[in-house]
Structure 1
C-alpha cells in the first residue's frame, strides 16, 4: 500500500460506532437520572403523606365524634318532640247556669284541644302534677253607665288541699264606656303555678253579660306543663 493514496474506511467506521455508543450511554445516564428523580419525588410524597397521616387521622376522628354528638342531640330533640306534655286550649265561652260567674268553653271544635288534661263543666282537670303556665283572655264591650262597676276576670283553682276555691289571678277594670273610645276592651291573665293531680282550674267573670262572642281567637282559656 502507498502512503499517499491509502484510504482509512475502518477508522471512520470505528469512529461513528464510538459516537453512537456515547450517545446511547448519555441517553442511558439521562434515563437513570430521570428514574432516580422520580424515585426521589415519590419518596418525598410518601414521607409528606406519612407525616400528615396522624393529623388526618385526628381530623377524621374529630369529625366522626362531632357527627356522633350531633346525631345524639338530634335523637334527644326528636324524643322531646315525640313526648307530648299535658296541654289544653279551650275556646269561645258562655256563662254557666250557675250564678257564680264560672264560664263554660268549647273543648273540641276549631282550635280547641285537650291532651292529658280533662275538660269537665268549664274546668280543666289536671292529671299530672307539675308547673303549668295558665292563661285566659276575655274580649268584652263597655256600656254607658251612671255609676262605676268593675269588670272582674279571674282564674280559680280547686284542690283537695284546701276547702273552697283559690284565686290564682285576677284582673279588674271599670267597664263604663268613655265617649272618646270605641267601648271595646280585652282582659288577659297568664302565670306559672304548681298544680297537683286532680286539681281543677276554671275562669270566673263578673258582669259576664258584657262578653263579646265573635271568634275563638277572642276568648280562650288554657294551660300546659312546662
Structure 2
C-alpha cells in the first residue's frame, strides 16, 4: 500500500527590519506660540510717558528761571541808571522832563543830600559835601550840619563804622543823630544806637552802626551826627556817611 507523503505546509514570511522602520513610540508636538504680555508693554510705555513729562517740566522750569534772571538784570540796569541820573544835578532836570514831572515836582525831587566822612578831631562829625559821592541839592551844609530849607517829611539816615586794634572792657560805642531848631533851645535826639561789649580784648575789631527813619522836619532845622569816640571812626566814604531826602 502506497503511503501518501504529501502534506500541507504553512507558508513562512520573513520580515526585514531595514525595509520597514518601526513606528515612533511618541509623537513630538510643538508647543503653541507664547501669548504677548501686553502688561509689560503697557508698563514700558507708561515709563516713557513719565520721563517725557519730567523732561518737559524741567525744561519749563529752566526756561522760567532764565526769563526771570533776564528780567532782574534788566531791572537792575534801569535802577542803576536811575540812581546815576538822580544823584547828578546836571542830569536830573532832563530825567525829570523825560518822565513828565511837573516843575514843582522836579524842584521837590532835588531836595536831597549825601555827605561822606571827612577827617576831623572834634565833635560833632565833619562831612564832605562836594567830593566823590557827596552832594547837596536843595539842602545846605553849614557848620558840620545839614540845614533844611523846606518843611516836609524826610527820610534821614546815617552810617558810622567803628574800628580799633585793641579793646577796653569798660568802653561802649554810641552813634547819635540830633537836631537843633529855632523853635526851642537845646538839642533834640532823633536816633541813637548804643552797644556794649563790642569786642574781644587784644584783638582787631570793627563794628557798623546804621540809623534811618522818617521825620517831619521844619525849615531851618539843623541836623548833626555825634559818636562816643572820634578816634575809633573809619573815614572811608563807603562806610561812614550822612544824608536825607524829601519824600
TM-score between the two structures when normalised by the length of structure 2: 0.55
Aligned equivalents of 2:155 and 2:118: distance in 1? 20
Q: CA RMSD in A?
A: 2.5
Whether 1:86 aligns to 2:107 is: no
Give the C-alpha shift of residue 182 in structure 1. 5.2
Partner-residue secondary structure (3-state), 1:209: helix
Partner of 1:58: none
Partner of 1:219: 240
Residue deviations 1:161-193, cap 9 Å, x none? 211110000000126522698511100000010
Give the C-alpha shift of residue 211 in structure 1. 0.6
Partner-residue secondary structure (3-state), 1:78: coil
Give the C-alpha shift of residue 148 in structure 1. 2.0
Give the C-alpha shift of residue 208 in structure 1. 1.4
Partner of 2:140: 118
Are the structure 2 counterparts of residues 177 and 143 from structure 1 closer, same or farther at C-alpha, using a change threshold of 3 Å?
Answer: farther
Residue deviations 1:79-131, cap 9 Å, x none? 1674433100000133354xxx3001000000100001000121000000001
Q: Within 5 Å, which residues of 2 pair with 1:18-37?
A: none
Higher RCO (C-alpha under 8 Å, 6+ residues apart): 1
Aligned equivalents of 1:139 and 1:102: distance in 2? 15
Residue deviations 1:53-97, cap 9 Å, x none? xxxxxxxxxxxxxxxxxxxxx989421674433100000133354
Task: Say whether the 8 Å CA contact 1:143–1:176 is kept in structure 2.
Answer: no
Aligned equivalents of 2:231 and 2:152: distance in 1? 35
Partner-residue secondary structure (3-state), 2:170: coil
80-89 vs 110-119, greater mean Cα deviation: 80-89
Structure with the larger helix share: 1
- Tell me the number of residue pairs that the alignment of Structure 1 and Structure 2 aligns: 149
Aligned equivalents of 1:104 and 1:112: distance in 2? 13
Task: Say whether the 8 Å CA contact 1:160–1:199 is kept in structure 2.
Answer: yes
Q: Within 5 Å, which residues of 2 pair with 1:113-192?
A: 113-174=135-196, 176-178=198-200, 183-192=205-214
166-175 vs 181-190, greater mean Cα deviation: 181-190
Unaligned stretches of 5+ residues in structure 1: 1-73
Unaligned stretches of 5+ residues in structure 2: 1-95
Greater gyration radius: 2
Give the C-alpha shift of residue 222 in structure 1. 0.1
Task: Say whether the 8 Å CA contact 2:114–2:243 is kept in structure 1.
Answer: yes
Are the structure 2 counterparts of residues 197 and 209 from structure 1 closer, same or farther at C-alpha, using a change threshold of 3 Å?
Answer: same
